[in-house]
Every structure is written in structure tokens, then in C-alpha cells.
Chain A
Amino acid sequence: MLVLSWGVIQAQEKAASGYMPHSYYTFSWNTTFPLGDFDKWVSQPSPAGFDIGGRYLIHKGLTTGFNIGWQRVSKIYGSQTYTIPDKGIAITAENYRFTWMVPFQVVIAYHFMPSRMISPYIGLGIGGDYMEHHLLIQEYDIYKTYWDFSLTPEIGALIKFGAFSQWGALIAFNYKWTTNKIDLYQTTSKDLQMLNLKVGLAFVLR
């Protein structure tokens, strides 16, 4: 009887542990929090963004994959004065600053418990961005575009909706460092950095 009970418990534990995924794909809503010099440009978090990702298990909990996305940060700044002293010029205007970007990265991540319903991971993304920085004053749109190199350490978790469900949720938080810059007026912002919070859906393949 005791052996039988032990066997049932073991079977239930195995069932609860779920399955080892072969790969998974994610679609997430991305909220951006500018940091450092980027925060001087637009000092406001933005929920305008999304991210599409794919991960493939290569060995035990080790995965490799990709992330591509789209993000935009923006803020209206009230009456501000910009000067060009050597030309004797000063302009006071309300201005609308925004940056939109297309990030693309290859990612390597380690899942600590890949077969569990809740599978936390740490990862590192390496890639780049295409960014457009815009300064809008009245009908004038002054902008510059740059490509960059980026690094993104990330922590997160894949949460399956059931032990054997192919659907799940993704929640992740990352810090992103880029070589991008903003030089639209006197202040040059270098090495743009940001935090990102990603919340989305995951589709898991066995």
C-alpha cells in the first residue's frame, strides 16, 4: 500500500513538472523607462512598444533565439530656450521630443527549470537598433537617424497556463545599453540607456 502511494505521488509530481519545451515564441507589450542621457532627452516612461521573440533549447535549460521590436518614447516640453551664442541666436518654443526605435538582437538565455510551469531565466541580448530622434517645433520636424550596437541583460519568467499547456505568459525586465546618441541641439546625449518591462503571451512547442 505504502509503495503504491509513493508511486502515485511520484507520478503526480512528474505530471505537475510539465514538459521540456523544444522552443517558444513570444509577443509582448513593452514599456520603456529611459535612463541617464536618454532620460534628459525624454524623461517619461512610455508604454508604446512591442516585442516579438523566439527561443530554441539547445542544451538542458540553455536557449538561443532572437528579439525584434518597436518602441517609442515621447514628451512635450513647455517653453524652453535654446541658444546658438556665436551666431547671437536664441529660440524659445514648446517642443515635442520623441524617439522611435526598431531593436533587433540575438539572445542567449538560461532557464533554471525549463520543464516547470513557471520557468525563470536570465539572458543576454546582443544586437542593434535603428533609432529616429525627432524634435518638433510648430510644423518643423528636425530629426536624425542612427544605427547602433546594443547589449541587453534580462531576467524573466515563462509561465505556462497549465503543466501541459502550449500557451503561456512572459514577463521580463531588462536593462539596455546602446551606442546611440542624440545631437539635435546643444546637449549631446551619448550611450543611450533604458529599462524595459515586457509582458506578453508565449506559444510553446514541445
Chain B
Amino acid sequence: MKTKIYLLILCLGLLFTQACTKYPPATDRLLEDLVVFTQYDTKADFTSYKTYTVSNTIKKITSKDTTNMTGPLVTAVLNEIAANMNARGYTQATGTQKADLGIDVVYFQNTYIYTYYYDWWGYYYPYYPYYPYYPTYYSSYTAGTACIEMQDLKNYDPVTQKMYIRWTAMIRGLLTGSHTQSEITGTIDQAFIQTPQIRANVTVK
């Protein structure tokens, strides 16, 4: 009987240790999630703009340098922005036609490095037993943020050189290697979905 009770106490003890973590398991996975943040100028009247232009490259900014990104993913992202603008009733400016809105995409790539150590005492031969040492561990991950900016070209003042940004979309968590092209272009759609104010006329939903 006593053995059973001790086994029960042991089981409860194990449950106790499992239960007693502050953060739930699998929180690390959140780093790979895509987050879509948007902010529009609440004073802007988006129906006052009719045409737009999208840059044909995406600038990539890292801690080392700035380069222009190319490739199928870049084309897909830029096409998705244009498709959403067209669906909202705007017309893409062609040739020398002056556009009311200009859309730029910049991609910031960061490598995050974590340092951590276990502060425990160990045996460090041939020195004194229980000499304290703190093994240090490093871990890193690379993730990026795409920033889409909608500039007001219509009201650009060449004298003061003031350019108003009417809408900003930031997509965090890109290029961790765990997202497909359709997931990435899906975030562009989401940026527009959560900003229904962007529309060329009131009848467009």
C-alpha cells in the first residue's frame, strides 16, 4: 500500500513540475509567424486619388549593405500589390503619365542572436572541484520585415520637399524559410483587406 502511495506522490510530483512553467510549450514557434501591421492616414481621402505606380524592384536593406532584389517572389509581390490596387478601382499609370500615388517596397533583413548560459556549478578538472563555470550558448535566426509605403505624389510639395505617406503596411516574419509564395502574397491581400478605406470611389468595396 505504501509503495502505491509513494508512486502516486511521485506521479503528482511529476505533474507538478510539468505544470509549473510560466510560459506554455511551443511559444518559440511564434517567431516564424507572419504578422501584418497596417496604418493609414485617418485624415486622407483615398477617393481623391485615381492613379498609382508601383516600383519595379524591392530594396533589401541589411546591416551590411543595400541591394535590389529580383526574382519570381519579388515579381509576385509587386503584381499582388498592383492587383489589389486595381481591384480597389485605381488605375496603374503608364509611361510618362503622372500618378497620384506611389508605392514602394523595402525589405529589412535582420539576424537576431541570442546569448544564454546556465548558471550552475560543475566539476572543472584539474582545478578545484565545484569551480563555478558558466557555459555560454548562442542561437540565432534570420527574419525580415517588408515595408510597403503609399506616398502621396499628388500633393507633393517640391519647395518644402514634403512627401506624405498615406498608408504603411509592415509584414514581419518573412524569409524564415517556412513560408510559401502563396502565403507571402496572401499577406499582401491581408494588408489590403484590413484597410478597406483604400478605394478610388465609394462604390468599390
Contacts and interface: CB of A to CB of B under 8 A. Distances in A.
Interface string B165-197: 000000011000000000000000010001101
Interface string A83-118: 100111111111010101000000000000000000
B35 A137 contact: yes
Interface stretch (B16-24, B50-58, B78-86, B97-105): B16-24
B20 A70 contact: yes
B12 interface: yes
Interface in B17-42: 18-24, 26-27, 30-31, 33-42
A60 B186 CA distance: 68
Contacts of B31: 138-139
A54 interface: no
A201 B8 contact: yes
Nearest to B15: A29
A201 B4 CA distance: 12
Nearest to B26: A76
A49 interface: yes
B113 interface: no
A201 B12 contact: yes
B1 interface: yes
A94 B24 contact: no
Interface in A124-152: 132, 134, 136-139
A74 interface: yes
Nearest to B43: A88
B139 to A, nearest CB: 13
A81 B194 contact: yes
A92 B19 contact: no
Nearest to A201: B8
B27 A87 contact: no
A200 B8 CA distance: 9
Given A138-B35, A138-B172, A201-B9, A92 B194 contact: yes
A48 B36 contact: no
A94 B194 contact: no
Contacts of A29: 12, 15, 19
B5 interface: yes
Nearest to B33: A94
A27 interface: yes
B35 A92 contact: yes
A50 interface: yes
Contacts of B33: 93-94, 137-138
Given A98-B23, A165-B1, 17 more contacts: A70-B19, A72-B21, A86-B42, A88-B42, A88-B197, A90-B37, A91-B38, A93-B36, A94-B30, A94-B33, A96-B24, A96-B27, A98-B24, A100-B22, A138-B30, A138-B173, A167-B1
Nearest 7 CB-CB pairings of A with B: A90-B194, A74-B24, A93-B35, A92-B36, A88-B40, A48-B19, A94-B33
